[in-house]
Structure 1
Amino acid sequence: MNEYLITFAGIYFLCLFKFIAGPLLGAAAGYGLLEIVIVTVSGMMTSVILFTFLGEWFKTNWTIIIKKKQKRFSKRTRNIIKIWKKFGIWGIAFLTPLILTPIGGTVVLTSFGIAKRKILFTMLVSAFFWAFVFGLSIEELLKIPFLKSLWT
C-alpha cells in the first residue's frame, strides 16, 4: 500500500507541471483507466486552482522580478492571441494539456481577466476530456503486441 501511495503521489506531483505525465506514468505503473484519470485530473486541477487564485499576485510580482526588455509580442504570444480571438476560453482550455502546461494555460486565462469560476470549469472539462483520450489511447496502443513488448 505504501508503494502504491508513493507512486500515486509521484505521478500526481508531475501532473502539476506536465499533463501527459499522468497517462504515461499511470500506464507504466499498471493503473487502470479510472486511476489514470483521477491522478491526471487531480494533478492538473490542483495547479489550476493554485494559479487561478494566486494568478494576479503571481503576475504582478513575477513581472517585477524578471522585468527585462522583452518583446511585447513574440511568436508564441501572437499564436496565443490568435487562438484566443478565434476560440476564446475554450480554445485555451482545450490546448492547455496539449501545448501549454496547466500553469501556463491558467496564467494565460488569468491574464485575459476571465472569471475564476469559468477558468475552473473549462479547465476541468478539458482535463477530463484529455485524460480519457490519452488514457484510452495508451490502453489501446498497449494491446499491440510489438508495443506491449517494448513497454514491459
Structure 2
Amino acid sequence: MSEYLITFLGIYFLCLFKFIAGPLLGSAAGFSLWEIVFVTVSGMMTSVGLFSFLGEWFRKNWGVIRRKKPNRFSKKNRNIIRVWQKFGVWGIAFLTPVVLTPIGGTVVLTSFGIPKRKILVSMLISALFWATAFGLSIEQLLEIPFFKNLWL
C-alpha cells in the first residue's frame, strides 16, 4: 500500500469518531481542500450510516449493557433538548460536527425517532458545510500563535 493510501485511511478512521480530525490531519498531511472534504465527510457519513441503521438495536440493548441508571436531567441532556425544541433535526445536525461526535449526533436523532433518510440528508449537508468551512480556514487557524506553538 502506498503511503498516501495509509494516511488517507488513517484520517478516515479517525473521522468516524471525531469530525475535526479530518481537516486538521488532512491539512497536516498536505491534502487539497477537496481531499480534506472527501475524507472528512466520508468518515462522518460512514459512522452516521452505521449508527442510524444500528441505532434501533443500540437503543433497545443499551439498557442491558449499562449498569448505572443515567441521570435524565443532566446539563448535557437539557442542552440537547433545548436545541431540539428550538431548531429540530437541522439544529442537532448542524451542531454534530462541532459539539457532538458523529456517533453522538446520530444516536440523539435516532432516539427522537427521526426517519433514517432525514438523518442521512441533514447530516450530509452539515458535514459538507463544516468540512468545507474548516478546510478553508484551517491554515488561518494554525497561524494563531497559540496553535502555532502547539505544533513546534
TM-score (norm 2): 0.92
**CA RMSD, Structure 1 to Structure 2 (Å):** 2.0
2:133 aligned residue = 133
Cα deviation for residue 69 of structure 1 reads 2.5
* Identical-pair percentage: 74
1:34 aligned residue = 34
Distance in 2 between residues matched to 1:56 and 1:145, nearest whole Å: 43
Amino acid at match of 2:50: L
Quick check: 1:106–1:119 contact (8 Å CA) kept in 2? yes
Distance in 2 between residues matched to 1:13 and 1:63, nearest whole Å: 27
Quick check: 1:89–1:109 contact (8 Å CA) kept in 2? yes
1:47 aligned residue = 47
Quick check: 1:93–1:123 contact (8 Å CA) kept in 2? yes
Quick check: 1:28–1:151 contact (8 Å CA) kept in 2? no
Cα deviation for residue 122 of structure 1 reads 0.1
TM-score (norm 1): 0.92
Quick check: 1:23–1:138 contact (8 Å CA) kept in 2? yes
Cα deviation for residue 59 of structure 1 reads 1.1
Q: Deviations over 1:47-79 (max 9, x none)?
A: 000000000101111222104222222110010
Distance in 2 between residues matched to 1:72 and 1:140, nearest whole Å: 40
Cα deviation for residue 148 of structure 1 reads 7.3
Distance in 2 between residues matched to 1:116 and 1:35, nearest whole Å: 27
Distance in 2 between residues matched to 1:138 and 1:95, nearest whole Å: 18
Amino acid at match of 1:45: M
CA gap 1:64/1:103 in 2 versus in 1, 3 angstroms:
same
* Greater displacement, 31-40 / 63-72: 63-72
2:7 aligned residue = 7
Amino acid at match of 2:138: I
Structure 1 residue matching 2:68: 3-state secondary structure: coil
Distance in 2 between residues matched to 1:16 and 1:119, nearest whole Å: 16
Q: Deviations over 1:79-108 (max 9, x none)?
A: 000000000000000000001000000000
Extract unaligned runs of 5+ from structure 1.
none
2:81 pairs with 1:57? no
Extract unaligned runs of 5+ from structure 2.
none
Amino acid at match of 2:33: L
2:10 pairs with 1:20? no
Amino acid at match of 1:26: G
CA gap 1:149/1:33 in 2 versus in 1, 3 angstroms:
farther
